[in-house]
Amino acid sequence: MDAALLAWFRENGRDLPWRHTRDPYAILVSEVMLQQTQVERVVPRYLAWLERWPTAEALAAAPLADVIREWQGLGYNRRAVNLHRAAQHVARKGWPEDLTELPGIGRYTADAVAAFAFGAPVVPEDTNVRRVRERTGRRFGPQCGQALMDLGATVCLARVPRCNVCPLAPGCPSRGRRYPPSRRQGRFEGSFRQRRARVLRAVAQSPQPAEHLDGDAVLALERDGLVRVGDGLVALPD
- Active-site residue list: 31
Single-letter amino acid code for the residue at 205: Q
Q: Cα–Cα distances in Å, from 201 out to 20, 164, 183, 205? A: 33, 45, 29, 7
* Alpha-carbon distances of 32 from 2, 91, 205, 218, rounded to whole Å: 27, 18, 24, 24
Cα four-point dihedral sign 143, 148, 151, 156: positive
- Under 8 Å between Cβ of 174 and 159: no
β 208-209/228-230 pair status: unpaired
Read off the amino acid at residue 45.
R
> How many residues are given for the chain?
238
User: Is 164:35 a contact under the CB 8 Å cutoff?
Assistant: no
Burial state string for 116-142 with b = 16 or more CB within 10 A and e = fewer than 16:
bbeebeebbbbebbebbbebbeeebee
